[in-house]
Chain A
Amino acid sequence: MTKDACKQIVLDIIADIAPDEDLSNLKPDVRLRDQMQLDSMDFLDIVMELRKQHGIEVPEADYIHLASLDSCADYLTPKFEALGK
């Protein structure tokens, strides 16, 4: 699993959660909340979809790592790899 592939997984989830948003210009190093309309329930959606679609658990204490696409990739890529993906 490359970090780019991981970012794409997160982007696909966000596309479902925020279907009205244009995601083509999202900056990977900027907080998602600063670039689009995402509230706390939306972040819970990301956590839920990671769990449902990929079997990945994100403990509440680690939610901070889902702030940007880059931080998502840094945090999630090892988890995907640990699952052999």
Chain B
Amino acid sequence: MSFQPARIVITGIGLTAPNGNSLSEFRQNLLAGVAGVEPFDVRYMGRLIAGVCHYDPLRYQTRKGLRVGTRAGSISIYCAHEALKDSGLAFDAMPKDRVGIYLGCTEHGNVETENEIYAISKFNYDTKYWSHYHNPRTVANNPAGEISLALGITGPAYTIGAACAAGNLGLIHAAQMLRLGEVDFAFCGGVSESIHTFGIFAGFKSQGALATHADPKKASRPFDKARNGIVVSEGGCIYTLERLDDALARGARIYGEIAGYCVNSDASDYVLPNPGRQAECVRKALVNARLKADEIHIVNTHATATPQGDIQECEAIRAVFGQGCPETSINNTKSYIGHCMGAAGALELAGNLPSFDDLVVHPTINVDDLDPLCAIDGLVLNQPRKVARVDAILNNSFGMLGINSTLIVKRFAA
């Protein structure tokens, strides 16, 4: 008898993106071509551009909670509350030790450490002025822990460090934990407070990978010939995941079913992507999902608008979807919101999920002059595309140190 893992479904979504604070607002702006990048002051570096979230933090937090906690924690609390509300779960009746929180993070703690160093610089670097909140703010599990405190969740709550692949990994790990029976209900996804650390901007600038453009909304332009790097953004997206039987038993709305996934590693370079390993990741995810390439109707690319990285991902996609996939549309969500780092994979998937219902694929915007090396079949450029069907969405998220993740979500069918 072969093992049949439990089917896992998405039943709630809460998010904040630079261009929307709910799935409906986010989706509306993706279809209307509204980007969310704006001028942003960065310590030591002056006025740059970034993707900034404008959710109301006091909707679910006290002012003291905001003061004590972190930006990532605040984003997480907002998204978790929104996801829970969206799920319709009777949370009071839910045993809190059977709830898990699994959040992907690109990094955590840089913001808080930089803030403390800046603060003690005003006191001649005397460490007696260093905050007693530094350690609880910088522990890697902080964003997940802040949710557990806010919602009284006593099950496992931790983060998964996976560079910019982390958002996908939050969902993948949650699905695994649900299948193992470790928890009965999971909050999962990704979060990023990256714009509040100058280090990430300075690092990308030193690497020659920080986007610039006179018009911030045009700055994030994957696949365009004139692309010149990454727009750093903050954001969060948290899903509620459940085993199908539990979701059906309570009559939950189902956004989609986790069909399959793969996580692998390049083992080749600190920062340069490896198209061969990326293609392998996508292929393994297809096998895991028991789907063929031509059964994928939307591919959300990871492409961050670096000159080399976009070409390499296109090479990987061409290798898998280049032939015999006439119904596969390919898009990119970072062109609207920049790179939301740990939240990127989770947010970009969310932006595409409504396609199951409206059969519209949001485009990659800001492509004025398509780079021929990025001209892959199925690329949706600048205008939304109405399609005949959307039964499976494949979401790529890749990260530094060569971590690749592919997550496939399919339309729920009983």
List the interface of chain A (C-beta within 8 A of B). Answer: 16-20, 37, 41, 44-45, 48, 51-52
Query: CB of B64 within 8 A of chain A?
Result: yes
Query: A51 contacts which chain B residues (CB < 8 A)?
Result: 128-129
Q: Which residue of chain B lies nearest to A43 when distances are taken between CB atoms in the complex?
A: B132
Q: What is the CA–CA distance of A16 and B64 in the complex, to the nearest angstrom? A: 9
Q: What is the CA–CA distance of A16 and B68 in the complex, to the nearest angstrom? A: 11
Pair B132/A19 contact, Cβ less than 8 Å: no
Question: Of B62, B63, B68, B132, which one neighbours A48 at CB under 8 angstroms?
Answer: B132
Q: What is the CA–CA distance of A52 and B123 in the complex, to the nearest angstrom? A: 8
Question: Of A19, A37, A52, which one neighbours B129 at CB under 8 angstroms?
Answer: A52
Q: Which residue of chain A lies nearest to B63 when distances are taken between CB atoms in the complex?
A: A19
Pair A18/B64 contact, Cβ less than 8 Å: yes
Question: Can you offer 14 A-B residue contacts whose CB atoms are under 8 A?
Answer: A16-B67, A17-B64, A17-B67, A19-B62, A19-B63, A20-B63, A20-B64, A37-B64, A41-B133, A44-B132, A48-B129, A48-B131, A51-B129, A52-B129
Pair A20/B62 contact, Cβ less than 8 Å: yes
Q: What is the CA–CA distance of A45 and B67 in the complex, to the nearest angstrom? A: 11
Query: B129 contacts which chain A residues (CB < 8 A)?
Result: 48, 51-52
- Interface size range of chain B in the complex: 10 to 19
Query: A48 contacts which chain B residues (CB < 8 A)?
Result: 129, 131-132
Q: Tell me the smallest distance from the CB of A72 to a CB of chain B, in Å.
A: 19
Q: What is the CA–CA distance of A52 and B129 in the complex, to the nearest angstrom? A: 7
Q: Which residues in window 54-82 of B have CB below 8 A to A?
A: 62-64, 67-68
Q: What is the CA–CA distance of A19 and B61 in the complex, to the nearest angstrom? A: 12
Q: What is the CA–CA distance of A48 and B134 in the complex, to the nearest angstrom? A: 13
Q: Which residue of chain A lies nearest to B123 when distances are taken between CB atoms in the complex?
A: A52
Q: Which residue of chain A lies nearest to B126 when distances are taken between CB atoms in the complex?
A: A51
Question: Of B67, B123, B131, B133, which one neighbours A19 at CB under 8 angstroms?
Answer: B67
Pair B68/A19 contact, Cβ less than 8 Å: no
Q: Tell me the smallest distance from the CB of A70 to a CB of chain B, in Å.
A: 24
Given A41-B133, A52-B123: A19 touches B64 (CB 8 Å cut-off): yes
Pair A41/B123 contact, Cβ less than 8 Å: no
Q: What is the CA–CA distance of A41 and B65 in the complex, to the nearest angstrom? A: 13
Q: Tell me the smallest distance from the CB of A19 to a CB of chain B, in Å.
A: 4
Q: What is the CA–CA distance of A45 and B123 in the complex, to the nearest angstrom? A: 17
Q: What is the CA–CA distance of A19 and B62 in the complex, to the nearest angstrom? A: 8
Query: B62 contacts which chain A residues (CB < 8 A)?
Result: 19-20
Q: Which residue of chain B lies nearest to A16 when distances are taken between CB atoms in the complex?
A: B67
Pair B132/A41 contact, Cβ less than 8 Å: yes
Query: B63 contacts which chain A residues (CB < 8 A)?
Result: 19-20
Give the 3 A-B CB pairs with smallest separation, nearest first: A19-B63, A20-B62, A44-B132
Q: What is the CA–CA distance of A18 and B131 in the complex, to the nearest angstrom? A: 16
Q: Which residue of chain A lies nearest to B132 when distances are taken between CB atoms in the complex?
A: A44
Q: What is the CA–CA distance of A48 and B62 in the complex, to the nearest angstrom? A: 22
Query: B64 contacts which chain A residues (CB < 8 A)?
Result: 17-20, 37
Q: Which residue of chain A lies nearest to B66 when distances are taken between CB atoms in the complex?
A: A19
Q: Which residue of chain A lies nearest to B62 when distances are taken between CB atoms in the complex?
A: A20
Q: What is the CA–CA distance of A20 and B67 in the complex, to the nearest angstrom? A: 11
Q: What is the CA–CA distance of A37 and B64 in the complex, to the nearest angstrom? A: 10
Query: B68 contacts which chain A residues (CB < 8 A)?
Result: 41
Q: What is the CA–CA distance of A20 and B63 in the complex, to the nearest angstrom? A: 6
Q: Tell me the smallest distance from the CB of A48 to a CB of chain B, in Å.
A: 7
